[in-house]
């Protein structure tokens, strides 16, 4: 394939917007495509893949190109990351850019420091190395440079996973069961799924396998009172509703009314009617306090740095900073402490993040346990999953890694209220 000059230029324009890091990259890309509806599907795919390649490899591409100019980085990504040859690029080059291509192709990445080689900010590399050791940190960092697969969660309340796989294959979509989640399907490639009949009727949802496992860790039962305390747009809420077989009461709580509003259409598609949204005014919202000590199970998927999702959100590593992580850790403890008050005696509490950093995970759990005293006993996550025939090598706390499990990076700890 020969990249068209116009598309190379458009990718450079979009990249220039993204490199301001004024907000999430996926939202900026969506806005750009809505403003340029003349792009075909292949055009959009080329532009998106190119700009995301730069976001993943920004530090090493800047070093290779000797420039931070968006067009130079686009050309560098096309050659070094996406594998276009110099010959195929000729028609897209402007004056002097042939020399840039030659320079980029001959650049030896091994001369760079590890943080630059693995395209991470220095501070983030240092923390991964301190936590995991240099060798393991390299494996984690390398895995985070890859694009994430497309995982689906089958709505088992509507059809079996094998039936969903068969119907997808009949329509030319290849997929396999995910290794651990009983409801998961991992598709081959990145097909457009949001117009498929199984998606439109709520039989499947897009959800990373690691995220699906959090629902199984909470393991809500039919007829129980359950809360998803940081529900967002409701992906995990719908997974919980599936396990509850649309019975009992499932409270979807979040401080963002806009995000919660997205759940209504999704719940309608899935045939879910037991979800009750509550827009929180803060961690100690009055309506939430009315449920104190009344709920059987509470999931706290706390807002976090999101570093476990860098395969799909590579801009996060350039937008986050150490001070923000410290602030998030304090917020996470406040949220977990507030959510714990809703759990009744004998009930289960699960704290989770999609962060890789111990200060958002183990350190928050340690602070919570110290504050809670003997009110909560920690449960063994591996045993909780094994009880549901989910075999996963896990210690008392769940740790999922892209290079080991093929999922986003996740952390979870489970507790029982005494």
Nearest to 28 by CA among 313, 305, 248: 313
CB hemisphere CA count around 359 (13 angstroms): 16
Instruction: Name the CA radius of gyration of the chain, rounded.
Output: 23
Distance CA 157, CA 357 (A): 35
Helix (H, G, I), strand (E, B) or coil at 299: strand
User: Are 46 and 15 contacting, i.e. CB atoms less than 8 angstroms apart?
Assistant: no
CB hemisphere CA count around 383 (13 angstroms): 6
User: Are 328 and 276 contacting, i.e. CB atoms less than 8 angstroms apart?
Assistant: no
Q: Which two tokens stand for residue 279?
A: 């827009």
Packing angle, helices 322-340 and 362-372, rounded to 10? 40
User: Are 76 and 61 contacting, i.e. CB atoms less than 8 angstroms apart?
Assistant: yes
Question: Which residues are catalytic, by number?
Answer: 354
Which residues, 6+ apart, have CB-to-CB distance to 8 below 8 Å? 50, 71, 74, 75, 78, 92
């Amino acid at each position: 394939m020969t990249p068209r000059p116009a598309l190379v230029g458009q990718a450079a324009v979009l990249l220039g917007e993204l490199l301001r890091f004024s907000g999430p990259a996926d939202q900026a890309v969506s806005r750009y495509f809505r403003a340029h509806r003349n792009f075909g599907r292949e055009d959009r795919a080329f532009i998106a893949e190119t700009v995301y390649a730069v976001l993943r490899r920004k530090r090493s591409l800047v070093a290779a190109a000797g420039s931070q100019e968006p067009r130079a980085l686009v050309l560098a990504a096309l050659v070094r990351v996406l594998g276009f040859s110099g010959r195929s690029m000729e028609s897209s080059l402007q004056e002097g850019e042939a020399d840039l291509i030659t320079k980029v192709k001959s650049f030896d990445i091994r001369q760079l420091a590890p943080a630059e080689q693995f395209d991470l900010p220095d501070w983030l590399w240092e923390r991964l190395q301190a936590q995991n050791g240099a060798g393991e940190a390299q494996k984690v960092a390398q895995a985070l440079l890859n694009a994430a697969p497309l995982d689906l969660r089958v709505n088992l309340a509507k059809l079996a996973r094998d039936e969903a796989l068969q119907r997808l294959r009949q329509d030319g979509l290849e997929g396999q069961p995910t290794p651990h989640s009983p409801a998961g399907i991992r598709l081959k490639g990145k097909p457009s799924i949001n117009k498929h009949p199984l998606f439109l009727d709520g039989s499947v949802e897009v959800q990373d396998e690691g995220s699906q496992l959090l629902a199984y860790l909470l393991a809500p039962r039919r007829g129980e009172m359950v809360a998803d305390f940081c529900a967002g747009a409701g992906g995990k809420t719908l997974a919980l509703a599936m396990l509850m077989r649309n019975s009992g009461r499932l409270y979807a709580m979040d401080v963002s009314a806009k995000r919660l509003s997205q759940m209504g259409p999704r719940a309608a598609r899935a045939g879910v009617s037991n979800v009750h949204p509550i827009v929180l005014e803060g961690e100690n919202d009055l309506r939430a306090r009315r449920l104190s000590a009344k709920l059987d199970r509470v999931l706290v998927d706390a807002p976090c740095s999101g570093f476990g999702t860098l395969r799909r959100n590579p801009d996060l590593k350039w937008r986050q900073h150490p001070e923000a992580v410290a602030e998030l850790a304090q917020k996470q403890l406040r949220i977990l402490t507030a959510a714990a008050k809703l759990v009744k005696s004998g009930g289960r509490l699960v704290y989770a993040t999609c962060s890789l950093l111990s200060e958002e995970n183990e350190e928050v759990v340690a602070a919570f346990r110290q504050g809670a005293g003997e009110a909560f006993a920690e449960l063994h996550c591996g045993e909780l999953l094994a009880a549901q025939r989910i075999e996963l090598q896990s210690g008392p706390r769940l740790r999922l890694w892209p290079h080991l499990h093929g999922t986003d990076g996740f952390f979870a700890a489970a507790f029982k209220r005494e």
